[in-house]
Amino acid sequence: MRYKNYGIVVTGGGHGIGKAIIEEFVREGAQVCFIDINEDYGKALESDSVFFYHGDVSLEDDLNHFVLFCKEKLTRIDILINNACVSHRGILSQCSYQEFQKSLAIGVTAPYYLSLQLQEELVKNNGSIINIASSRAFQSEPNTESYTSAKGGIVALTHALAISLSGQVRVNCIAPGWIDVNNTESISKEDEAAIPVGRVGKPLDIAKMVSFLCSKDAGFITGETFVVDGGMNKRMIYHGDHGWEYHI
């Protein structure tokens, strides 16, 4: 177990990718503290190795209390996973100032603030920070400005932190594509065929990448963003080619 006795901190760990990350680290022997706004999801994951804090990462007070909680529950802190984010639509649906700010608070400000507050512990243990972005940081659909801005911001935050903490803490980012966080059974064959690997992603695909990037095997990697989307970002799409049609 390569993470035996490690202390891991995760945001947005109650469901989907965050949950898979927690489960993967526990399988590898770690103890995990996580924060989530959904109390039911959070309590369902609690165990001798998993400690849940019910809170909202967009609020400074909740982040401060969560940091204290982590330091109380974990004997050491080696890894910070900034996973939490929320979408508040975009310009076509009149996303408000407050909604846009909340997306940025959760997706960019909280990762920075937790990195700041846990810096001493992470430096002491030559730790890692992993930020979870999205392929939306590089590609867009209409009406996604708040989520896209948050994800673009965390990509930039990643390389900034990597340089500031160079030689002390490695900082990397993962940008998932389509990940089926709800174990959907109705994904069409056409949707799967559109992805070069032939399937939609699973939360465990991202969790495995997180585990690798935090390991000694990735010791020469920092400041990077890895798109994990089954190759979809490499596909060129033109109307009328290879059966693709664009409907106006």
Known catalytic residues are: 147
Question: Which amino acid is residue 4, in one-letter code?
Answer: K
Q: Rg of the chain's alpha carbons, rounded to an integer?
A: 18
Pairing of strands 170-176, 50-54: unpaired
Per 3-state DSSP, the chain is made up of helix, strand and coil in percentages (nearest 5) of 45, 15, 40
Burial environment of residue 67 by CB neighbours within 10 A (0 to 12, 13 to 18, 19 or more): buried
Tell me if 111 sits within 8 A of 157, measured CB to CB.
Answer: yes
